[in-house]
Amino acid sequence: MGEKNLSIPTLKRLPLYCNIAQHALDMGKTLISSSEIADCLNIDSTQVRKDIAAIGYGGKPRVGFDSKELVKYIRNFLGLNKVNNVILVGAGNLGTALARNKGFLVQGINIKAVFDNDPKLIGSDIEGKQIVSIDNLQQYISDNKIKIAILTVPAFVAQETADKLFSFGIKGIWNFAPVNITHPKGVVVWNQDLVSNFITFIKFVKTF
């Protein structure tokens, strides 16, 4: 099955499988079964096998998956073994927290620069990442061949900022602004509404 035929839920589960297999490996467990992975995520083991088979990797019947090989295969499939340069737009509290997250680079995600329109912030840095004037967005994206942006600006400027990013050649936006962004064909926007997610989480907890 090609990458474009994979469902979004499958793609979301693959990094989780990778993390579980890596944890097993760290604990000295060289083999891990689909049932063990499924138990960690409270899903059916059949789903685990289908997801992993969909990316072309096969385990051994009644034995399971080689933990090291599974980690290596999923990381390679997801492109985590190479550095993906991205930019972050919006150096507020959330943007700063994301820029300081060292876990991104471990997974091959390099926040190369942070952009903002606050003169007090421009020229400073966050964990070595320079804060650049938003006026320089187009030139920076072009010079560094950036295709992905993380958006952490206020809701009232999110669409306007996204439209600029699209016009400058950005093909994907991970949006943390609490508003859904409309976008042209040929680009991807992933809306990450933290408040709505937390409300859903609270409701889910209360059902137990």
Would residue 201 count as lying in a domain?
A: no
The CATH number of residue 63's host domain is 1.10.10.10
- By C-alpha distance, which of 79, 64, 65 is closest to 3? 79
Tokens of 150: 């993380």
Give per-residue pLDDT as tens, 152-170.
999 999 999 999 999 999 9
Give per-residue pLDDT as tens, 167-188.
999 999 999 998 999 999 999 9
pLDDT grade, residue 3 (50/70/90)? low
H or E element in which residue 87 lies: strand 84-89
Report the predicted TM-score, pTM, of the whole model to 2 decimal places: 0.79
Given 20, 45, 77, the domain boundary residue is: 77
In this prediction, residue 1 carries a pLDDT of 47
- By C-alpha distance, which of 147, 53, 149 is closest to 99? 149
Q: What DSSP line would sit under 7-53, residue for residue?
A: -HHHHHHHHHHHHHHHHHHHTT--EE-HHHHHHHHTS-HHHHHHHHH
In this prediction, residue 4 carries a pLDDT of 55
More confident residue, 208 or 151: 151
CA–CA distance, 185 with 196 (Å, rounded to integer): 26
**Directed axis angle between helix 67-78 and helix 8-26, to 10°?**
140
Query: Does residue 91 sit in the same domain as residue 180?
Result: yes
The CATH number of residue 150's host domain is 3.40.50.720
CA–CA distance, 164 with 153 (Å, rounded to integer): 13
Do residues 99 and 126 touch, judged by C-beta distance below 8 A? yes
Do residues 142 and 120 touch, judged by C-beta distance below 8 A? no
- Report the number of distinct structural domains present in the chain: 2
In this prediction, residue 106 carries a pLDDT of 78
CA-atom Rg of the chain in angstroms:
20
Query: Does residue 73 sit in the same domain as residue 98?
Result: no
Would residue 120 count as lying in a domain?
A: yes
Do residues 11 and 64 touch, judged by C-beta distance below 8 A? no
Q: Which domain holds residue 48?
A: 3-77
Arithmetic mean of pLDDT, 140-157 = 96
How large a percentage of the chain has pLDDT more than 70?
A: 98
